[in-house]
Structure 1
Amino acid sequence: MLNEQVENLLNDLIQIENNSSTLYLAMSAYLANLNYTGMASWLRAQSEEERTHMLKLIDYVTDRGGRVTIKSTPDQLIDFGNPLETFEKVLEHERFVTNSYRQAHSFAAQNDPQTAVILQDFLREQVDEEAQAQTIVDRLSIAGSNAAAILTIDQELGQRQAAAPAGG
């Protein structure tokens, strides 16, 4: 059975993953409207990955006898700027998610070792999440306003394969 503080912490992470999924879906739709179909596809896959993370956390809470609380997601922007600005927002958001998992892991390590192990898997994955976002930001920065370079990056991002869920 989860103690109330750990349950609340996990519900906060569920909300973060739900918000992340919604944010990336909004970004995907935005870039699709601008005909950056590869970037849109990458962000849609990212949205699905975040939803998978949310579901894994939900399953963990219920398996431990906890109660899941799913809240509504905030309204999303409809304009995220140019592709570089959009992916800078992705990177900023991934850093926020990493920090949230770090704080949660720190608390769990002191209060619930089983939960700490689960959160460690997510922290490991966050290294890759941030690295991918940083690489895209760096490449878009190098491309600058070169339309051909941006379209090449767009095509490459459209080739993304779905990743396996964290810890499983």
Structure 2
Amino acid sequence: MVKEEVQQLLNQLIQIEHISTTLYLAMSAYLDRKNYTGMARWLRLQSEEERTHMLTLIDYLTGKDGIVKLSDVPQQPSDFGTPLETFESVLEHEQYVTNAYRQAYDYITQVDPQTTVIVLEFLREQIDEEAQALTIVERLKLANNTPSALLLIDQELGQRQNAGGTA
């Protein structure tokens, strides 16, 4: 059976991914309502990716005979401001998630080398997720709220094909 402290850590990561899923889904619904359908699609797929992360962690923990403890997820806002403000929130959240995985990795390497592998996999992925969010934020800054530029960015983000795809 998995050590109690490892089980707690994995449940914390599961909760972070659960929150990420609902946050990005709320952002997607908001931008869809504002007719930024490409950005909404990108965020919907990002929500699905975070859900996949959550399920992977759940499967890993249950596969080690651990106990999954799903907690309540806080209600998400229904307004996220401009597209730039929305994606600045995405970037900030991804930085938070990266930090959580970095701390988990630092701890887990000392107590459970086997679990280190899965945590490191997610930590590596966070590098890409932060980079994608930063690129989108920087492009939205360049657009400077110009409608035609926002529509081009929206169209580009709408071309994302799957939860593993990049912008």
TM-score (norm 1): 0.96
CA RMSD of superposed structures (Å)? 1.0
Matched, 1:45 2:45: yes
Asked whether the 8 Å contact 2:94–2:126 carries over to 1, the reply is yes
Which residue of the partner structure matches residue 7 of structure 2?
Answer: 7
SS at 1:110's partner residue?
Answer: helix
Taking the TM superposition and a 5 Å limit, the aligned residue runs for 1:1-168 are 1-164=1-164
- Report percent identity of matched pairs: 65
Deviations along 1:85-125, one digit per CA (max 9) or x if unpaired, are 00000000000000000011111000000111110000110
SS at 2:161's partner residue?
Answer: coil
Alpha-carbon distance between aligned partners in 1 of 2:8 and 2:117, rounded to the nearest angstrom: 17
Alpha-carbon distance between aligned partners in 1 of 2:40 and 2:115, rounded to the nearest angstrom: 34
Q: 4+ residue stretches of structure 1 with deviation over 3 A?
A: none
Alpha-carbon distance between aligned partners in 1 of 2:161 and 2:123, rounded to the nearest angstrom: 21
Unaligned runs of 5+ in 1: none
Give the aligned residue type for 2:129: E
SS at 1:52's partner residue?
Answer: helix
| Aligned-residue offset at 1:163 | 3.8
| Aligned-residue offset at 1:64 | 0.7
Give the aligned residue type for 1:8: Q
SS at 2:109's partner residue?
Answer: helix
Alpha-carbon distance between aligned partners in 1 of 2:51 and 2:154, rounded to the nearest angstrom: 23
Give the aligned residue type for 1:17: E
SS at 2:52's partner residue?
Answer: helix
| Aligned-residue offset at 1:72 | 1.3
SS at 1:6's partner residue?
Answer: helix
Give the aligned residue type for 2:34: L
| Aligned-residue offset at 1:145 | 1.9
Alpha-carbon distance between aligned partners in 1 of 2:46 and 2:34, rounded to the nearest angstrom: 18
TM-score (norm 2): 0.97
